[in-house]
Amino acid sequence: MLSVTSEYAIRALIVLARHESEWPISGPRIAERASIPRKYLSKILGDLVRAGFLEGSRGKSGGFRMARRPQDIRLYEVLSLFEPITGNRRECPFGNKVCNDLDPCGGHARWKLVREAYERFLRETSVWDVALKQSESDILAGDTKRKAL
């Protein structure tokens, strides 16, 4: 359900949330710990800085730190930077040009329930919640699983 960019953004934030004592953490170090290609991560980190989730500093001892507490950052906020989340912005996944509550496709009612549950999860879950519930090996296993598919 997540784009690769969104997944990488969350994984980078998890690394930062778990390693607060090491702030600032360099982009290459975040990329290494989260198993994200450096160039890809560079753009994502810039987006997270511009959106106010991170602060970045340049130089030999530079790097990134969280600008807000991970407990206060909801997944919804982060993911909305990189992809459409709300129902009124997402196209029908079944290829219908017109699909809404007034003119629904055959799967609309059931898909709407899934979409609402997903959106509720993202609004209620913080970066800290997922950082606490995953080990770093679980994060890295995401790439292994993706490559196996």
48, 37 in Cβ contact below 8 A? Answer: no
Query: Looking at residue 71, what is its pLDDT?
Result: 96
Q: Does the pLDDT of residue 128 top 60, yes or no? A: yes
Q: Does the pLDDT of residue 149 top 50, yes or no? A: no
Look up tokens 């009612």; give the residue.
Answer: 109
How many angstroms separate the Cα of 16 from the Cα of each of 75, 109, 118? 15, 39, 24
- Going by the DSSP 8-state scheme, the letter that residue 70 receives in this structure is G
Query: Looking at residue 98, what is its pLDDT?
Result: 73
Q: Does the pLDDT of residue 38 top 70, yes or no? A: yes
Looking at per-residue pLDDT, the higher value among 111 and 64 belongs to 64
- Does the CA dihedral 26-70-55-20 come out positive or negative? negative
Query: Looking at residue 148, what is its pLDDT?
Result: 45
Confidence of residue 100 (pLDDT cuts 50, 70, 90): confident
Q: Does the pLDDT of residue 110 top 50, yes or no? A: yes
Taking residues 22-27, what's their average pLDDT? 95
pTM of the model: 0.79
Taking residues 87-107, what's their average pLDDT? 75
Alpha-carbon distance 21 to 1, whole Å? 32
CA triplet 16, 18, 22: central angle to 5 degrees? Answer: 65
| Average pLDDT taken over every residue of the chain | 86
Residues with Cβ within 8 Å of 116's Cβ and at least 6 positions away in sequence, in order, are: 87
Confidence of residue 61 (pLDDT cuts 50, 70, 90): confident
Nearest to 133 by CA among 17, 31, 12, 54: 17
Residue 29 φ/ψ, nearest 5 degrees: -70, -40
Alpha-carbon distance 141 to 100, whole Å? 37
Domains, the chain, ordered by start: 4-84+127-148 (1.10.10.10)
Taking residues 32-56, what's their average pLDDT? 96
